[in-house]
Amino acid sequence: MFSFTTIANYHIALQQNLTSCTIAVQHYLQRIEKQQHLNAFVEVYANEALAKAKLLDEQLYAGLPLKKLHGVVIAIKDVICYQGHTVTAASNILKNFTSLYTATALQYLINEDAIIIGNCNCDEFAMGSTNENSAYGKVLNALDNTKVPGGSSGGSAVAVQANMCMLSLGSDTGGSVRQPADFCGIIGLKPSYGTISRYGLLAYASSFDQIGIFGKTIADVALLLQIMSVPDVMDSTMNQQALTQQLQQYEEKAPNHFKIAFLKQAMQHTSIDGEIAEKINQLKNNLVADKHIVEEVDLDMLDFIVPAYYVLTTAEASTNLSRYDGVRFGHLSPKKPQNLNDFYLNNRSEGFGTEVKRRIMLGTFVLSTGYYDAYYSKAQKIRRLLIEKIEHIFSQYDVVIMPVSPCTAFAIGQNDKDPVAMYLADIFTVFANLTGIGGVAVPLFSHSNNMPFGVQVLCNKKQEVLLLQVADMLLSTQQQA
């Protein structure tokens, strides 16, 4: 029976001939087959994964050294390009579209001998918080099939949660890695903006998007981050200094005590579940008892965050999604158009889902003449003020801790009729994307409703080492409790 704990232990087992890459892939393919009802995968690369596993086993038996991700089974979100494979962003407008190239971040993993087992379901064009907005249907939470897994990277989260792969990649525009990680009880990392190349990531909002990582141990997540954080000439927004060297040392150089800030307004917000607030307050007391410097700080602009986020992201989305018109690629309507306007109208009306249409319309509205200054310009000013505020906080503290979500995973269909309520559920996660800082969801607790939840740790730009060190400390402390 194959059992995966960490990449390091897996590699030891491979070298001691206790398992093989082929056995590992067969195990995960069986898990995927048995759990098809979760609808986590759009496409499974079974034959390709088995062929790659066989090749890697032969290389190991021949005495070749193991690369960093030798035989590690990884799934990817259906917004990440993989040459020769379909990439559709869970949208009918890109149905059956085959990618012509591989995303840089994914290529870095493949170069280290990772095995890509399939691509995962998601909210259409990464727009959603529940993974119900998909052309392939909703994804189910493996812990409770009546609950959502979170979104938009719900399929990638469930793939790790339900042991259908070792790790997975998602994308985070406003919490789309951290929130599903929280709902599924696993680790979800969104690095600071520019840490991982966005080349080959289908865009929702370009100044917010970031590829993120799902896993079950900090060490495994750190390894993937180390490999993917190498600069890329194809992405001019990337930081030009790789985190590789620092990440190799993150465990050895961890300080004994940290300076930690808790956001007062987040902990006292009217939307937060009482049990979540209670557990996080207890965590705060435990950190004080362990001699960490822990203080509450003010963020009096908390209620402006969600409106600013949705104004800016929908504006960017309305521009980014204009390319999907049926001319060069995308859905081509069978209806015969009477003119060019009908041609575009038919293709886009049939190809896009309800939530994507809603956000395109909103984005077009806030960019239109007469409303640009009233909405878009003000949202940009709020973004600048938030960046200045968080930079001031990080000048005094190592990290910030706050809830991931106001609640645990909610029932499927609960917010179908109220998109505004759904948007407001992102109140604690969109802050990191607005300001470009890094964040990780750390699973620490179980609610009385039997669903998991934790906290998110936020770090300043290029401070992922501190982020991982604090997350590791929190997990270790909770396991010892």
* Residue 251, both tokens: 């465990």
Do 240 and 232 contact (CB within 8 A), yes or no?
Answer: no
Candidates 20, 129, 152, 229; catalytic one: 152
Cβ atoms of residues 443 and 185 within 8 Å: yes
Residues contacting residue 391 through CB under 8 Å, at least 6 positions apart: 460
Cα–Cα separations (whole angstroms), residue 293 to 253, 393, 472: 19, 14, 17
Told to judge if 236 belongs to the known catalytic residues of this protein, a careful annotator would answer no
Phi first, then psi, for residue 76 (nearest 5°) are: -125, 150
Count of all residues that appear for the chain in the document: 481
| 77 catalytic residue (yes or no) | yes
Residue appearing with tokens 């158009």: 337
Q: Both tokens of residue 429? A: 């996660």
Residues 6+ apart with CB under 8 A from 322: none
Cβ atoms of residues 464 and 445 within 8 Å: no
**Catalytic position from the list 20, 52, 77, 168:** 77
Residue 247, SS3 per DSSP: helix
Q: Is 152 an annotated catalytic residue?
A: yes
The H or E element that residue 168 is part of is: strand 167-171
Q: Which of the residues 129, 134, 176, 192 is marked catalytic?
A: 176
Catalytic residues: 77, 152, 176
